[in-house]
Each structure stands twice: as C-alpha cells, then as structure tokens.
Amino acid sequence: MSLTIKNGEIFGIVGYSGAGKSTLLRCLNLLERPTSGQVIIDGVDLTTLNKKELRQARLKIGMIFQHFHLVSSKTVFENVAFALKAAKKSKDEIEKRVNELLEMVGLSDKRDAYPSQLSGGQKQRVGIARALANEPTVLLCDEATSALDPSTTKSILALLKKINRELGITIVLITHEMEVVKDICDRIAVMQDGKVIELGTVYDIFTNPKEELTKSFINSVLQFDLPDHLLKKRTGTIVKIQFKGEMAEEAVVSDMLQTFKVKGNILHGKIEYIQDMPLGIFVMELTGEPDEIQRAIDYISLRTNGLEVIASAA
C-alpha cells in the first residue's frame, strides 16, 4: 500500500470488517509496526525513531477510539489532564489547557463528573478533548461514531469538522459507514483485503464509483432500487437519471417532457449535497410511442451525467 494524505484534509478510510482499516490506522502511529516500508508524518519517518523519539512524535498524533477508553475512576478533568501529565506539563499549564479543551468540546459543566455519569456522546467528546491535549497535527479516529446513535453521530462529526477547519488538524477517519464519509470527508480510500482499491474525492467517488465494493457502499446511502412488485406494474420504460453539479439544479426533465410526446412519472428521486455540491438521482417511468421515448432518452443522456434504462416495456 502506498498512500499520501494531504495536510489539513479529512481523509476517510472505508471498508468492511477485516479489510485492514484499523491495522493501517495503527501503523500511522506505529502501534502496529509495518514489516517494511516507511511511515512519514510531517516529514519524519517514524520507523527510524528510537523509543524516546517515537514517544515524543506520538504527542503530535492524537487518537480517538470507538469505545472511548476513559479511566472510570477519574473525573472528566483528570481524563483529559492525563495526556498532559504524560507530557510533563506544569500544573498551571494543565489547568489552563484542560479548561480550554472542555470549553471547545462543550463540556465545561462536566469537569468534575465521572465517565459513568456521561452519555455516549459526552464520553466521546472527552475522548476528543484528550486527543487534542498536546496540540497534535494529526488526529486518528478509529470508528469514532460507531457506538453512537444517529443524532449524536451528527453532533460529533460537526465537532470534528469544526476542529479540522479552525485548528487545521489533519484528520484520518476509518469507518464502514458511508453516511459518515458523505458528511465530513474531503477524500476517501476504499479498502479490500489489505489494499486500496479506489481513491478519490468524496464527490467523485459518489458520482462515479468504479469498483463493485464501492458501489455497494454508496448504494447503502443513495438507495434507489424499486421493489419488484412495483416494477411489474409499470407499462412504460423506467430510467434512472443522474445529475451532477449545476446540472442537478436545471430543468432538464421538464424541458424533455415539453419537447417530446411522452409522459413522465417520477417514481423515486432526491438531491443530496456532498461537499456542498448537488448530486441528483431520479427514477422515472416514460410512456408514449417507442420512437418518442428513445428520442427523449437520447435528449436526457446528452444533457445529464448518466442515464440507465432499468426496465423497458419493449
């Protein structure tokens, strides 16, 4: 595997269990030492460092875990302070920094609470504050939202995005949830059997996936399959149309219906916004004379980013 993650981006690593996501992430801070090759962060090859140098380098690589890993016998303040004590910071430095971090993650009022008194989302916020304690340049997130409900996941992703944008920290996030990738990542790598099989911006991957595994991940978010019983009732030609970018906001379908002697019945459709760019997908039934339907299909194909005939009465 050869992979370059850009400074300041949110980079997602996606794959099913056993694909190698967690192993790759743990290689980035040498919790797992690769059998060969280099791990270069901020220009330093971590594999060449001695134990003391590696401990120092790891201070700049924060890590957030799926199951939080908080010390149950310590307060929120003490859990966050732990990383600063390990870095041999003074008492005054620790007090100031922990208070800043708790305010950043919205937990100033939970300073003296214990993990057992916190919700899952609050525990993860403590984990994020702890990971940021030593002002890292890289933040590694190991399935950071998998143990959370959808609403809490949204709030944690919003917090991570805020941290990335305001502090400029590079975030590497592994997940099997494409919804997470769609909401937060700039680029993604899709992994299978220890290899990266597809790599690109989130928008490009969502609009033009090449690999079957990638397509199956995207289908879990953009699900447009119609039930068989619904397809059997249709008497016309059913097409799936994809609109990218500005095209998603234009009246192509409406123009087509006015230009040709066909009727259109939209069966399914939505516009998603990925990296603030629209992606529209519509499934519709076209009825009319076969020649007119074909002309309408050709018209749409030329003016959109993809048309697939799902079923045809002919």
Q: What is the pLDDT of residues 261-270, one digit of tens each?
A: 999 988 888 8
CATH 3.30.70.260 fits 228-311, yes or no: yes
Q: What is the pLDDT of residues 218-238, one digit of tens each?
A: 887 776 666 776 667 778 899
279 — pLDDT class (breaks 50, 70, 90): confident
Domain boundaries, the chain: 10-219, 228-311
Instruction: Quote the mean pLDDT of the chain.
Output: 90
44 — pLDDT class (breaks 50, 70, 90): very high
Tell me, what's the pLDDT at 313?
63
Q: Which CATH class, in words, describes the domain spanning 10-219?
A: alpha beta
Tell me, what's the pLDDT at 248?
66
Q: What is the pLDDT of residues 163-220, one digit of tens each?
A: 999 999 999 999 988 889 999 999 999 999 999 999 999 999 998 899 999 988 888 7
Q: For residues 237 and 289, what is the distance between their CA atoms, to the nearest angstrom?
A: 11
Tell me, what's the pLDDT at 224?
64
